[in-house]
């Protein structure tokens, strides 16, 4: 091929092997078509004889076949430099292909996209290009080939004749070690390449869950499995698994959502899982049950949360069977490395699944109007999927494939539900088809994963993150906890909270000395029972004397009612505990009796003291009143004098 490793001009173009083959193939085809095809109006495309160029015509066709919008294609042609130089040289072509691949996978079309890994671009070729397709009679049957897997398959099993062709092609496919020898169909290239990779790692792979699929494929694949060689069967089943539901005549075969389509085997598996959680297939699985189940898949909680959000369409916190299948499928896809979609793909919508539910086999759905956000590059994804799972399988299992019987497979299916999420994850990934590759690793896989699953089950569901403390983060001044707590013990003790409006205490005057003198000894003698009341009593006398001078100026009336009511009330609570003590006294020892009696005595003394204090204060109040009256008289007398 002319392409020299992806060209040197412009930003370095790193192509993987698959891309290299694919692009070179495409370039060759375009160049060939240019040479073969009629003279194109775009003469400049062939202006430079020095380099082989791809004519604009076939290139434009190819680009249009990529199903990208026109402005994207314009952008791509600009970026790749074809417009600048006026022709599609190898470098420009490769850059353009890479950008197309990036655009199809949803990446923004920029020069930097070239550098990043992207799957192979996908082109939907029409019948017109059939001439260039060699060796794929299946495709020439008029169906638009989407994915290499599908193109071969879709027709293969639906029609016997295709099956024959499948077989005839399979020998050509078998020497996969040398991709160039495969039919020069570009679509074959990724398949073969992917296939070769599969072959290289087949020994380790095949996770499993395709057993069920294989069993079905076996029965039907026998027609195509004439040669009996593993490769064709492998390829056949591989394709079969993805295209079971395809109608060969379905012209709207652009189902770009390959990984989002649930196959028959997967579906049965999901239904079994559903039944294990909830016997009645028509009712719900509750949120907590589903949470425990899906947590076993060891995906991160945010991802599981997002998957739930996608699949629980009615947001009721429970999963019906279609919703469950969708969620399970998304988990499986995620475990296989597929990024989660922005929205629920149409094939996973509950209505779609519901429609397919009663049927044992899914008919192909002729949903033409699907606009897929996920449409980008499903085909390359498949190859990637298999590659990724192959890597994963090698990581997970270290088993050698051996011939296995169907019994093994079924036994393994029945055994561990624990390993099921893990195995299902392998399911779609491995379109490896020979049974021989499956069951043994599968049984081994159970043993290896069942422990993990059991461990996982043993763990609790991930503990919720610690909730922030019940602190008042914003209003530190208003700490409700502190405000309410003191009142509680105060209420319990039966003593009154301190009067709120206590003015600050200046040093007590001499007149309060006697009161104070009484109070300290009283407080020192205060028994434990009256301890709560005594602080208040102590405080009250303390508060009252200091406030006397202020009271004289401001509010004498307010304080005295307080004084009056406080001592009796204090006496009340004091007497109440003392009354309560009486019944208990009888039960307690004599020492406690005596202590309580002394306490009672002291309370009474305190009461007496307080009443005396009260009377004194009232006397003072009267005196103050009299002084006030005297002062007012003086004021009245003085006033007329000053007026004059």
Partner 1 sequence: MAVCIAVIAKENYPLYIRSVPTENELKFHYMVHTSLDVVDEKISALGKALVDQRELYLGLLYPTEDHKVYGYVTNSKVKFVMVVDSSNTALRDNEIRSMFRKLHNSYTDVMCNPFYNPGDRIHSRAFDNMVTAMMIQVC
- Both structure tokens of 405: 């019987």
Q: How far apart are CA 450 and CA 443, in angstroms?
A: 10
Helix intervals (H) in 494-589 = 513-525, 533-553, 556-587
Among 11, 12, 142, 317, binds partner 1 (CB under 8 A): 317
Q: Which is nearer to partner 1, 302 or 504 (CB)?
A: 302
- Among residues 305, 402, 485, 592, which is the contact residue for partner 1, using CB under 8 A? 305
Q: Please choose, from the candidates 405, 491, 482, 415, the residue with its C-alpha nearest in 3D space to the C-alpha of residue 447.
A: 415
User: In the bound complex, what is the minimum distance in angstroms from residue 318's beta carbon to partner 1?
Assistant: 9
Residue of 234, 304, 515, 530 interacting with partner 1 (CB under 8 A): 304
543: nearest Cα among 478, 476, 497: 497
Per-position x/- string for 261-300, each x denoting binding to partner 1 as judged by CB under 8 A, each - no binding = --------------------------xx-xx---------
Q: Which is nearer to partner 1, 473 or 510 (CB)?
A: 473
306/542 with CB nearer partner 1: 306
**Shorter beta-carbon distance to partner 1: residue 57 or 421:** 421
Q: Closest CB to partner 1 among 43 and 314?
A: 314
Nearer to partner 1, 359 or 474 (CB): 474
Residue closer to partner 1 (CB basis): 475 or 641: 475
* In the block, residue with structure tokens 């949903």: 367
Rounded Cα distance between 578 and 594, Å, is 13
Instruction: List the end-to-end C-alpha distance of the chain, in Å, as a whole number.
Output: 127
Number of separate helices (H) and strands (E) present in the chain: 24, 2
Q: Does 106 bind partner 1 (CB under 8 A)?
A: no
Is 61:53 a contact under the CB 8 Å cutoff?
no
**The one segment of 82-90, 168-176, 309-317, 511-519 that binds partner 1 by CB under 8 A:** 309-317
Q: How far apart are CA 258 and CA 333, in angstroms?
A: 11
CA distance 240 to 219: 12
CA distance 524 to 9: 99
Give the one residue of 70, 315, 488, 643 binding partner 1; rule: CB under 8 A: 315
**Residue 470 found at the interface with partner 1 (CB under 8 A):** yes
Contact 442, 472 (CB under 8 A): no
* Gyration radius from the chain CA atoms: 45
Please choose, from the candidates 259, 420, 258, the residue with its C-alpha nearest in 3D space to the C-alpha of residue 334.
259
Q: Is 309 in the site for partner 1 (CB under 8 A)?
A: yes
- Residue closer to partner 1 (CB basis): 469 or 642: 469
Identify which range of 171-179, 275-283, 310-318, 364-372 contacts partner 1 by CB under 8 A.
310-318
CB 549 within 8 A of CB 509: yes
Position 474 contacts partner 1 (CB under 8 A): yes
Out of 110, 457, 472, 555, point to the residue binding partner 1 (CB under 8 A): 472
Candidates 88, 308, 352, 357; binder of partner 1 (CB under 8 A) is 308
Q: Which of 465, 504, 561, 583 binds partner 1 (CB under 8 A)?
A: 465
Q: Collapse the DSSP code of 286 into the 3-class scheme (helix H, G, I; strand E, B; otherwise coil) and give the result.
A: strand
- Min. distance of Cβ 309 from partner 1 in angstroms? 6
Nearer to partner 1, 475 or 635 (CB): 475
11-30: contacts with partner 1 (CB under 8 A): none
User: What is the smallest separation between the CB atom of 370 and partner 1, expressed in angstroms?
Assistant: 21
Q: Which of 17, 43, 316, 565 forms a contact with partner 1 (CB under 8 A)?
A: 316
Q: What's the distance, CA 429 to chain centroid?
A: 22
**38, 358, 468, 504: residue in contact with partner 1 (rule CB under 8 A):** 468
Hunting for tokens 């070690």 — which residue is that?
A: 177
- Residues in contact with partner 1, shown as a per-residue x/- string from 585 to 614 under the rule CB under 8 A: ------------------------------
Part of the chain binding partner 1 (CB under 8 A), chosen from 348-356, 405-413, 463-471, 549-557: 463-471
The SS3 assignment for 314 reads: coil
- How many angstroms separate the CA atoms of 216 and 219, rounded? 5
Distance CA 136, CA 169 (A): 8
Q: Which of 464, 504, 561, 583 forms a contact with partner 1 (CB under 8 A)?
A: 464
CB of 371 to partner 1, least distance (A): 18
Q: Which stretch binds partner 1 (CB under 8 A): 109-117, 147-155, 362-370, 469-477?
A: 469-477
- Report helix, strand or coil for 263: coil
**Minimal distance, residue 350 CB to partner 1, in Å:** 16
Q: How many CA atoms lie less than 13 Å away from 278 in the CB half-sphere?
A: 20
Q: Does the footprint of partner 1 cover residue 475 (CB under 8 A)?
A: yes
SS3 88: strand
- Options 275-283, 315-323, 328-336, 526-534: segment touching partner 1 (CB under 8 A): 315-323
Q: Which is nearer to partner 1, 467 or 587 (CB)?
A: 467
* CA-wise closest residue to 426 among 457, 394, 450: 394
Beta pairing partners, 286: 318
Q: Answer yes or no whether residue 471 interacts with partner 1 by CB under 8 A.
A: yes
Which of 8, 41, 69, 302 is close enough to bind partner 1 by CB under 8 A? 302
Q: What are phi and psi of 318, to 5 degrees?
A: -140, 155
Nearest approach, Cβ of residue 260 and partner 1 (Å) = 18
Q: Which residue in 359, 467, 492, 553 binds partner 1 (CB under 8 A)?
A: 467
If binding is defined by CB under 8 A, does position 51 make contact with partner 1? no
Sign of CA dihedral 24, 27, 32, 35: negative
Q: What are phi and psi of 16, to 5 degrees?
A: -80, 175
Start-end of H helices in 159-300: 160-173, 188-201, 210-224, 230-243, 264-277, 287-295
Kindly state the smallest distance separating residue 285's Cβ from partner 1, in Å: 10
Binder among 50, 128, 369, 473 for partner 1 (CB under 8 A): 473
Given a contact cutoff of 8 angstroms between Cβ atoms, the answer to whether 28 and 35 are in contact is no
Contact set with partner 1 (CB under 8 A) = 287-288, 290-291, 301-302, 304-306, 308-309, 312, 315-317, 464-465, 467-468, 470-475
């Amino acid at each position: 091929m002319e392409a020299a490793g992806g060209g040197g001009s412009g930003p370095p173009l790193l192509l993987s092997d698959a891309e290299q083959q694919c692009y070179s193939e495409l370039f060759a085809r375009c160049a060939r078509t240019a040479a073969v095809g009629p003279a194109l109006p775009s003469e400049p495309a062939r202006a430079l004889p020095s380099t082989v160029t791809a004519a604009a015509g076939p290139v434009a066709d190819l680009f249009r076949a990529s199903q990208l919008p026109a402005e994207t294609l314009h952008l791509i042609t600009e970026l790749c430099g074809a417009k600048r130089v006026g022709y599609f040289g190898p470098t420009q072509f490769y850059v353009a292909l890479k950008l197309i691949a990036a655009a199809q996978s949803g990446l923004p079309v920029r020069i930097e996209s070239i550098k990043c890994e992207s799957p192979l671009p996908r082109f939907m070729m029409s019948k017109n290009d059939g001439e260039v397709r060699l060796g794929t009679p299946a495709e020439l049957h008029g169906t638009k080939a989407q994915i290499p897997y599908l193109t071969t398959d879709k027709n293969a099993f639906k029609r016997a004749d295709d099956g024959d062709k499948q077989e005839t092609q399979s020998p050509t496919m078998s020497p996969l070690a040398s991709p160039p020898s495969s039919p020069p169909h570009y679509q074959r290239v990724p398949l073969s390449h992917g296939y070769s990779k599969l072959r290289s790692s087949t020994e380790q792979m095949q996770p499993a869950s395709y057993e069920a699929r294989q069993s079905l494929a076996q029965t039907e694949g026998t027609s195509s499995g004439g040669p009996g060689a593993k490769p064709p069967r492998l390829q056949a089943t591989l394709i079969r698994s993805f295209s079971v539901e395809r109608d060969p005549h379905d012209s709207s075969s652009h189902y770009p959502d390959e990984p989002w389509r649930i196959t028959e085997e997967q579906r049965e598996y999901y239904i079994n899982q559903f039944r294990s959680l909830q016997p009645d297939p028509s009712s719900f699985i509750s949120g907590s049950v589903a949470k425990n189940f899906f947590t076993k898949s060891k995906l991160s909680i945010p991802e599981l949360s997002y998957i739930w959000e996608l699949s629980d369409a009615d947001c009721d916190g429970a999963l019906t069977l279609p919703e469950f299948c969708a969620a399970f499928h998304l988990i499986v896809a995620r475990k296989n490395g597929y990024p989660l979609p922005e929205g629920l793909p149409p094939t996973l919508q509950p209505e779609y699944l519901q429609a397919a539910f009663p049927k044992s086999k899914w008919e192909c759905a002729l949903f033409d109007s699907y606009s897929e956000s996920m449409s980008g590059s499903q085909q390359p994804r498949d190859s990637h999927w298999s590659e990724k799972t192959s890597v994963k399988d090698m990581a997970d299992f270290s088993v050698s494939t051996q011939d296995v019987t169907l019994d093994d497979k079924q036994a393994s299916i029945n055994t561990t539900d624990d390993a099921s999420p893990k195995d299902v994850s392998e399911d779609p990934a491995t379109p490896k088809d020979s049974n021989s590759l499956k069951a043994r690793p599968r049984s081994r896989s159970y043993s290896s994963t069942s422990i993990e699953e059991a461990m996982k089950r043993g763990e609790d569901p991930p503990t919720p993150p610690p909730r922030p403390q019940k602190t008042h983060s914003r209003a530190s001044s208003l700490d409700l906890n502190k405000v309410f707590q003191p009142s509680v013990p105060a209420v319990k003790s039966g003593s009154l909270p301190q009067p709120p409006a206590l003015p600050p205490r200046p040093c007590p005057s001499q007149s309060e000395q006697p009161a104070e003198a009484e109070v300290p000894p009283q407080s020192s003698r205060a028994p434990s029972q009256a301890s709560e009341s005594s602080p208040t009593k102590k405080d009250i006398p303390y508060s009252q004397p200091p406030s006397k001078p202020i009271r004289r100026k401001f509010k004498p009336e307010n304080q005295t009612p307080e004084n009056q009511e406080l001592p009796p009330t204090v006496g009340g609570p004091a007497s109440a505990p003392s009354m309560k003590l009486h019944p208990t006294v009888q039960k307690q020892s004599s020492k406690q009796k005596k202590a309580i009696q002394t306490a009672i005595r002291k309370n009474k003394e305190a009461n007496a003291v307080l009443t005396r204090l009260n009377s004194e204060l009232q006397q003072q109040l009267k005196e103050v009143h009299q002084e006030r009256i005297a002062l007012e008289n003086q004021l009245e007398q003085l006033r007329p004098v000053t007026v004059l």
